[in-house]
Every structure is written in C-alpha cells, then in structure tokens.
Structure 1
C-alpha cells in the first residue's frame, strides 16, 4: 500500500520546517489569530443612522407641504380667496409642525391677508 510506505518527509508548510524536529509553535507568534487586535475599533449604531434618515425625511416632507401651502395661499389672492386661503393656512400649520417654519409662516400670513381682502375689501369693488 502506497500510503503506509512513505519515504518522503512531512513538512509544515506554514513554517517550512520538518514536523517533529522542533516545537512547531515555539517561536512563531504570528500563527495566532490577530484579527481582533488588528481591526480598527469601529462602533456602528444603527439607531443613529436611522435617526438621521428620519430627520432628513421629515424636513423634506415639511418642505413639500410648505411649498403646497404657499402655492395655495398665493393662488388664493386671485381665485376663491376664502377656500384657498383657509386651505393654505391649514397646510401652513402642518408645514410648521413638520419643520418648514419659514414656508409655513409665509403661507399662513398670505392666507390670512387673502381672506381679509376677500371678505372686507373685494365686496366693495
């Protein structure tokens, strides 16, 4: 049988020395696992990244509602001032609540002016 009668010597390919001659791991410290010691210390917290994404989404959603509120309030200066002005005011409050304070405030202000002009000044013309 070929496996029993081996006449070649066994070599440890990791150290290039014959097995049995020396202590295999006596001087070689590099054979131990060092991945934890060599890896960069990183702590990744998914909650923080999710919070950042939610904040960005809420600002974007508030901006869209704010633009819609401002568009309706400006439109109310020309067509259906009571209906579009009131809708612009309501959407302005929603936009302010979602983070678009400037757009929401402008929509509320223009909507109020439009309702006042529509109710008290336009009937006399």
Structure 2
C-alpha cells in the first residue's frame, strides 16, 4: 500500500497534490517575489509566505519546536527544488498530498543549520497526530 502511495505522490502533477494551505502559501510566496521585483520564487519567498499565512502544520511544527520561521529567510533555493523535495518528503511519509509541512521539510533540506531534518519529521508526525 505504501509503495502505491509513494508512486502516486511522485508522479502526479504538483497542482493536484497541493492542499489549500500549501496553494495559499505558494501564492503568497509568488506575491512576495513579485513585490521584490523578482521573476522567480525562492525559499526565502516561501518562508515569507509561511509567515504571512501563519497557519498550518508547518507553522504549528515550528512553534512547537520554538523556532521562528524567520530563521529560514535567507533560504535562496529555487522553489522548484523545494517543491521536488517536498514531494519526496510526502511520498516518504506515505502521504498522497503536499501540505505546508512537506514544504517546510523541503526547506529544511536546503537549510539544515536551522533545524535537524529527522527531528522536524518526527515533530511533523506528532503535530499531525495531535500529540503537540
């Protein structure tokens, strides 16, 4: 069953996998990039989108770990790389969707100095299960 979910998550179009909050965060990130006069969205813009949304599993995870989302602001990775990493994280967790938590895990891949990836995964699962 997990293998089937993993394959589904890895091969479906990104837009069909995004939750409403994840779509909103990406939209906010695009607005941030545009307001800065940039034609491409980066991890820093995504972080700003998460901060503006101020809702969702990613924000709850960071709060529970007492980490301010602004610590990721210098993230300069291209958004397409982060969404690819988010897709892999979702598949690895057996999820058929990409939520803010997966976007956060994608960011952490590119910013391991802020938070340990395995620690973040464990905390995301705790938040999803309501154990935080």
Fold in common (TM above 0.5): no
Higher helix share: 2
TM-score, normalised by the number of residues in structure 2: 0.23
Computing the radius of gyration over CA atoms, which structure comes out larger, 1 or 2? 1
TM-score, normalised by the number of residues in structure 1: 0.24
Instruction: Tell me: higher relative CO, structure 1 or 2? Use CA pairs within 8 A at least 6 residues apart.
Output: 2
